[in-house]
């Protein structure tokens, strides 16, 4: 380098006297060779989590060397360089390889020198680089921006609002909205409660859900704990300490199994504890749902009214002189103009023995009836659609409809018996003789029966909250039904292996019947949500649409 060029590069510095770089440092971006021991890590690196690709990066550098020069800088008066904008991982790899191999390739490395401006700009340079690569967790970004905010406030001598912080960051080449800063700030407020969850990568979407949940839970807590008026500021702060914080902390050790629903469940439990057991869990859950949806919370449900028992609608039987063969188009049945597309209809039987139905019903019981409204109309429609779809699906089996009955409570229908045992036994014998078509049909029948039981919640639950209560089931079970005999039930419909049974069931369903099965699932979810939102704490078995 001649003297003229040298003098043009290494010239005097016209910045603040306290920021004058060492005389040997360039004032423009310059490429140079530097020994790795003279380069230090950037101590405020925004990326705090371990790089999962570290071993791959190390092996790549071992084989190929550096693809790009290391970005470095040097603070005024310092003797060592520092990584300037991303590169801490590569520097660590180079130091390890030099110590392990003493290969000169890993000793003197190509670097790109950047004049040092300020610690704030150095931090933002690292933040910008990591953000562009997309390999930084949400909480790491939040912690880095908090550090940048502190440094900017020291430079300006005043506090920065979110709007002013957004403007300052944008002016330094890191645009971020005030709305995003608010989400990052919220993540920081949860860092001490769920550090493992945040370190594992919980991001913007989860923060939005948790913030909404905290706001809704606070509303529910105020509603039930202070019915006469609003709590004081101190009492409001207590909510996070005694409810939300404990609920979040309880879920932090779930690891990869952590999900929002677990937090919501924990919040409901903590609300129950905080309200000293005076408010039923069902009421807390219902009001939390209302608050999350932006609806007004409600106190007690209206008084129950006596209603008649739901009507049993026995399936239609064949007219005299006709056979089941005339009523079936094969495959998955008929009745809606659909033609079968598979080859398994050959296993349907001709007889039409119907299951007996009770001729009398118990005395009407008192069910909860909520004053009529649009939601009840929708609830009635969902139940009717479930019944129609279940009947159509059950036509896969000879007399399959006879194992179902319609309900005006619950999810619209109930499985009241096993499928036709003669049909099952005939297919079993054919299967034993190597008939693979019969085996497929039988497996489909078992899977269908269990699917309908699950979606109708036909069996009473151990928790008493979801399954059909025994008092309701007793009204509709045929006298000769064996559904309540576990041994007999499993001998007719054994539990299917997920891969060899249910997998074949879902993958071989004709499209039109697959759509019906999916609609039943969707309707069942909507029925549950409607009653949770509008049912005043009642269960699906207490809200009738008769």
CB 383 within 8 A of CB 480: no
Predicted TM-score (pTM) of this structure: 0.50
What is d(CA 437, CA 431) in angstroms, rounded to the nearest whole number?
Answer: 8
pLDDT in tens, 443-471: 778 888 888 988 999 887 544 457 888 88
pLDDT of residue 228: 60
213-255 confidence digits (pLDDT tens) = 999 999 998 888 876 655 555 555 678 888 899 999 989 988 7
Size of the chain, expressed as the number of residues it contains: 546
Distance between CA atoms of residues 340 and 328, nearest Å:
10
CB 98 within 8 A of CB 104: no
Contact, 405 vs 476, CB < 8 A? Answer: yes
Count Cβ neighbours within 10 Å for each residue of 254-269 and write b for 16 or more, e otherwise.
eeeebeeeebbebbbb
240 vs 359, more confident: 240
pLDDT value of position 386: 93
Confidence of residue 350 (pLDDT cuts 50, 70, 90): very low
pLDDT value at residue 8: 47
Confidence (pLDDT) at 244: 92
**pLDDT per position as a tens digit, 90-102:** 899 999 999 999 9
Rounded to an integer, what distance in angstroms lies between the CA atom of residue 373 and that of residue 363?
27
Q: Is the pLDDT of residue 395 over 70?
A: yes
Q: How far apart are the first and last CA of the chain?
A: 95
User: CATH class for domain 3-136?
Assistant: alpha beta
d(CA 134, CA 87): 14
141 has pLDDT over 70: yes
Number of other residues whose CB lies within 10 A of the CB of residue 420? 23
Least confident of 46-50, 183-187, 273-277, 400-404: 46-50
The confidence score (pLDDT) of residue 329 equals: 28
The count of C-alpha atoms lying within 13 angstroms of the C-alpha of 500, restricted to the half-sphere facing its C-beta, is: 7
Domain ranges of the chain: 3-136, 199-292, 305-534
Q: Are 176 and 146 in contact (CB under 8 A)?
A: no
Q: Tell me the backbone φ, ψ of residue 297, rounded to 5 degrees.
A: -80, 160
Kindly report which listed range (261-265, 373-377, 538-542) carries the lowest average pLDDT score.
373-377
Residues with Cβ within 8 Å of 501's Cβ and at least 6 positions away in sequence, in order, are 443, 446, 447
What integer is the mean pLDDT of 1-5? 50
Which pLDDT value is given to residue 308? Answer: 34
Average pLDDT, rounded, for the chain: 76
The two beta strands, 108-113 and 70-73, are parallel
Identify the helix (H) or strand (E) that includes residue 234: helix 233-239
pLDDT for the residue 260 = 86
| Cβ–Cβ < 8 Å for 463, 532 | no
């Amino acid at each position: 380098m001649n003297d003229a060029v040298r003098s043009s590069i290494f010239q005097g510095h016209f910045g603040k006297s306290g920021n004058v770089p060492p005389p040997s440092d360039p004032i423009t971006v310059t490429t140079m060779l530097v020994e790795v021991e003279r380069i230090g890590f950037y101590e405020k690196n925004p990326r705090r989590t371990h790089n999962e690709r570290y071993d791959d990066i190390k092996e790549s550098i071992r084989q190929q060397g550096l693809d790009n020069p290391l970005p470095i800088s040097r603070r005024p008066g310092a003797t060592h360089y520092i990584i300037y904008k991303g590169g801490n991982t590569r520097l660590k790899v180079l130091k390890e390889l030099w110590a392990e191999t003493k290969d000169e390739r890993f000793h003197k490395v190509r670097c790109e020198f950047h004049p040092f401006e300020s610690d704030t700009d150095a931090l933002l340079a690292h933040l910008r680089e990591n953000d562009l690569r997309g390999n930084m967790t949400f909480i790491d970004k939040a912690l880095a921006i908090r550090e940048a905010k502190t440094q900017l406030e020291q430079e300006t001598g005043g506090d920065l609002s979110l709007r002013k912080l957004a403007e300052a960051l944008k002016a330094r080449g890191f645009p971020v909205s005030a709305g995003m800063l608010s989400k990052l700030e919220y993540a920081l407020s949860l860092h001490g409660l769920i550090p493992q969850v945040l370190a594992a990568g919980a991001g913007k979407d989860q923060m939005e859900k948790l913030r909404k949940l905290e706001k809704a839970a606070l509303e529910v807590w105020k509603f039930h704990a202070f019915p006469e008026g609003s709590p004081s500021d101190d009492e409001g702060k207590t909510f996070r300490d005694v409810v939300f914080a404990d609920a979040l902390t309880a879920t932090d050790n779930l690891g990869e199994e952590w999900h929002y629903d677990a937090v919501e469940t924990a919040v409901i439990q903590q609300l129950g504890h905080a309200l000293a057991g005076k408010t039923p869990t069902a009421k807390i859950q219902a009001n939390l749902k209302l608050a999350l949806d932006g609806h007004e919370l409600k106190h007690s449900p209206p008084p129950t009214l006596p209603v008649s028992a739901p009507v049993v609608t026995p399936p239609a039987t064949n007219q005299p002189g006709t056979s089941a063969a005339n009523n079936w188009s094969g495959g998955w049945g008929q009745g809606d103009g659909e033609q079968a597309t598979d080859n398994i209809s050959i296993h349907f039987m001709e007889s039409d023995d119907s299951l007996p139905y009770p001729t009398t019903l118990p005395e009407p019981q008192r069910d909860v009836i909520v004053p009529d409204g649009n939601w009840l109309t929708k609830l009635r429609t969902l139940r009717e659609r479930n019944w129609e779809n279940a009947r159509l699906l059950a036509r896969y089996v000879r007399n399959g409809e006879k194992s179902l009955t319609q309900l005006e409570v619950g999810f619209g229908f109930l499985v009241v018996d096993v499928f036709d045992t003669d049909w099952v036994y005939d297919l079993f014998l054919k299967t034993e003789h190597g008939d693979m078509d019969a085996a497929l049909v039988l497996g489909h029948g078992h899977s269908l029966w269990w699917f309908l039981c699950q979606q109708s919640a036909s069996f009473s639950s151990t928790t008493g909250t979801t399954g059909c209560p025994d008092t309701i089931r007793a009204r509709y079970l045929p006298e000769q039904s064996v559904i309540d005999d576990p041994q007999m039930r499993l001998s007719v419909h054994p539990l299917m292996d997920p891969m060899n049974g249910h997998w074949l069931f879902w993958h071989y369903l004709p499209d039109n019947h697959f759509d019906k099965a999916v609609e039943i699932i969707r309707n069942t979810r909507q029925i549950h949500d409607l009653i949770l939102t509008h049912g005043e704490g009642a269960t699906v078995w207490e809200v009738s649409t008769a």
